[in-house]
Amino acid sequence: MYRTLFGIVGAIVVALGLGFLTFARSAGRVADFVFVNGTEPKTLDPQTMTGQPEGRLADAIFEGLTYRDPKSLRPLPGLATSWTISPDARTYRFTIRDNAKWSDGTPVTAADVAWSWRRLQKPELGSEYAYLLHMIRGAEAFNTFRSAAEHLKEHVVPGLDELAAKHGGSIPAKDWTAFVGDQHVTATVKGSADAFLLDLLARTSGTVTADEVTQVRASFEREATARAEGFAHADAHFGVDEGVFVDPDDASVLVVELLAPTPYFLELTAFYPAYPVPPHVVEDHEDDWFLPDKIVGNGPYVLTEWRVNERIRIEKSATYWGRDDVALDVIDALPIADATASMNLFLTKDVDWAPGPPLDLVPIFQKRPEFRSAPGMIVYYYRLNCTHPVLKNPDVRRAIGLAIDRQAIVDKVLKGGQLPAVRIVPPGLPGYDPPESKLGFDVEEARRLLASAGYPKGEGIGKLRLLYNTNESHKVLAEVVSDQLRRNLGLDVLPLNKEWQTYQADTLALDYEIARAGWIGDYLDPNTFLDMWVTNGGNNQTGWSDPRYDRLIRRAADVGKALETFEDWVGDLKEPDRARELAAAVASAADPDARREAGETLRLHLFREAEALLFQDGYPIIPIYYYVTQSLVQPWVEGWYSELELPDGSKGANLQDIHPLRGIRVTGGPRAR
């Protein structure tokens, strides 16, 4: 009897003791700096992440060839101490820092970077940001050709046979275009030089004859074989001796070959998809190498603790080459999406940096010095699911875009100086002249469009889910927009809230009708807002596809090559005359610099044409407003900039809302030592 009692009491004491120990351990050290990181990161693998909460931590744990200077956000030598660029701007040679080390002490080598960039493009990884580095030779083939070949062999060719059999050999134009659309054929054979095939894919009227069917079947098979071979070649060479590889004569040099000059390439190397990851760790733990007990990074900080829904702790790395310039030793990131909760933590001085306060309180905070606000290169928009039976009609999509009163939303709900948006590219990008947009606020026109599309007063459309991730201001906006669509168009819109991870999974799977989204420019170029809308682009997530758009983005990526066939495509543009003028300017340029400048103007004009397709024809997305970034920063925090130093010495807004943790210092406050 007593022994049992002893046993029980003993067990309780031991359990309590263990509990206390865990508690005591967690209470141990107070961080030097605590910030609210929005949501729980989906992953800390830089090659599969896409969000801002993930990016902030990746910037601390890893370092690319270059890193962003906290003061100016311009790329500085990071993992690479220096680089040379070939005269045609297509070959970069990066010299890797000889004292760069992974946090487990292993040196970071040029081979690690090549391995990581190959990993980013690996078809099995399915990275949504893979396209960001598709300008590297062989990257796109490695990334997409295998699935394209399989798709051609397993779906397109059998589908074509089935269709031809059904119609007795030839195929009516209507079925043909439906087939091309359903099977994403144009995107699958992207880059093909087969003129017959490309002509046929663009055909919208007239029967496809039995002969043509036979011929196109052969074309498909040729494309499939070519792609399978292209993939096999890339598989053997990409990251080994092609595209990105270690200089055979100098193991400390990484060579990168680009398909086209990319003015913002050094900004890309400071962006997380291009960060190196440790091959010796990732190979052993492919799925969970980024968890605290396994992760190895090369950045200023190491991940030491990840308690889901509680905090992520990073500590200064003992192996980072620039550790002497990193001020903070221990940083905590709190996954708090609730604006009121994070504001309360800020007011009690429990956090040093928090996102902006709840919308209602913005006017009050605007008078306080802790409130930091700056125009952002960030756009808030709604994705429309272009594969939805009703929303696949662009007129319906435009009607939705015309029925939202953006000015009232900005003035009455947001109240922070945001700008209403009818286009995706934010104002203020140097040299970019935005096209006219056919969106705006015009309820009459919206109703007329909806009625002529066959849904007068929204009848017959059914329930539309409006998906948003957990956040009070997203919620208020979702409610306002739903109500405006309901009152202005008679649509039955159901605002639907999901956690960040589910929300991301659902938008990726196109399991929504309308979905809130925001896009922060990854670099200062219209391309960052426009290249994501190409067919099947990882961040497209609307199902929208326009071959003309894909071609424009591809031409803008390599203006020099596009100019060779200029006369073939200039007629397809909305403003061919302007393009002709610009092309003539390139041709008549006296010296290479003038030529590059004229080419740059033409490149920006192609983006203008592309954006015109989005907001005069396609409407896959409905922009609402351009963000004003809002943050709460304690007065003792230094090195947190809402204004940046521009190259010419003047000040400019921190458009991307990036505040690298490596540059932050604290000069007081409750956590100062």
Binding region for other proteins (CB under 8 A): 338, 340, 343-344, 347, 357-361, 364-365, 405, 408-409, 411-413, 463, 465, 472, 476, 479-480, 482-484, 486-487, 494-498
Q: Please, which residue, 151 or 406, has the CB nearer to other proteins? A: 406
Q: How far apart are alpha carbons 143 and 565 in whole angstroms? A: 26
CB of 489 to other proteins, least distance (A): 14
Place of tokens 């295998």: 146
Q: Please, which residue, 188 or 482, has the CB nearer to other proteins? A: 482
Q: Please, which residue, 7 or 635, has the CB nearer to other proteins? A: 635
Q: What percent of the residues of the chain are helix, what percent strand, and what percent coil, each to the nearest 5?
A: 45, 20, 40
Place of tokens 């100019």: 563
CB of 412 to other proteins, least distance (A): 4
Q: Please, which residue, 407 or 588, has the CB nearer to other proteins? A: 407
Q: How far apart are alpha carbons 459 and 462 in whole angstroms? A: 7
CA geometry: angle 224, 230, 235, nearest 5 deg:
125
CB of 378 to other proteins, least distance (A): 21
Place of tokens 């990854």: 522
Q: Please, which residue, 3 or 463, has the CB nearer to other proteins? A: 463
Q: How far apart are alpha carbons 185 and 667 in whole angstroms? A: 59
Q: Please, which residue, 410 or 573, has the CB nearer to other proteins? A: 410
List CB contacts of 312: < 8 A, sequence separation 6 or more. Answer: 37, 41, 57, 303, 305, 306, 332, 333, 335
Q: How far apart are alpha carbons 562 and 635 in whole angstroms? A: 52
| Cα separations in angstroms, 369 against 364, 372, 414, 664 | 11, 7, 20, 18
CB of 317 to other proteins, least distance (A): 37
CB of 345 to other proteins, least distance (A): 11
Least Cα distance to 275 among 253, 304, 244, 297 occurs for 297
CB of 484 to other proteins, least distance (A): 7
Q: How far apart are alpha carbons 96 and 94 in whole angstroms? A: 6
| Cα separations in angstroms, 124 against 226, 463, 621 | 20, 36, 29
Q: Please, which residue, 255 or 481, has the CB nearer to other proteins? A: 481
Q: How far apart are alpha carbons 103 and 319 in whole angstroms? A: 6
CB of 518 to other proteins, least distance (A): 19
Q: Please, which residue, 495 or 521, has the CB nearer to other proteins? A: 495
CB 512 within 8 A of CB 541: no
Q: How far apart are alpha carbons 464 and 388 in whole angstroms? A: 10
Least Cα distance to 467 among 358, 555, 384 occurs for 384
Q: Please, which residue, 146 or 388, has the CB nearer to other proteins? A: 388
Q: How far apart are alpha carbons 188 and 534 in whole angstroms? A: 12
Q: Please, which residue, 25 or 463, has the CB nearer to other proteins? A: 463
Q: Please, which residue, 194 or 472, has the CB nearer to other proteins? A: 472
Least Cα distance to 398 among 436, 435, 450 occurs for 450
Encoding tokens for residue 95? Answer: 């010299």
Q: How far apart are alpha carbons 311 and 35 in whole angstroms? A: 10
Q: Please, which residue, 135 or 493, has the CB nearer to other proteins? A: 493
Rounded to 5 degrees, φ, ψ at 306 are -140, 100
Q: Please, which residue, 111 or 359, has the CB nearer to other proteins? A: 359
CB of 372 to other proteins, least distance (A): 17
CB of 476 to other proteins, least distance (A): 5
| Cα separations in angstroms, 552 against 135, 555, 567, 651 | 15, 5, 14, 33
CB 425 within 8 A of CB 434: yes
CB of 413 to other proteins, least distance (A): 6
Q: Please, which residue, 340 or 667, has the CB nearer to other proteins? A: 340
Q: Please, which residue, 250 or 483, has the CB nearer to other proteins? A: 483
Least Cα distance to 220 among 155, 173, 167, 272 occurs for 155
Q: Kind of pairing, strands 330-334 and 311-316?
A: antiparallel
CB of 622 to other proteins, least distance (A): 17
Place of tokens 């007990």: 293
CB of 75 to other proteins, least distance (A): 40
Beta strand ranges found along 56-198 (DSSP E): 66-68, 75-77, 80-85, 91-96
CB 334 within 8 A of CB 345: yes
CB of 366 to other proteins, least distance (A): 12
CB of 416 to other proteins, least distance (A): 13
CB of 460 to other proteins, least distance (A): 18
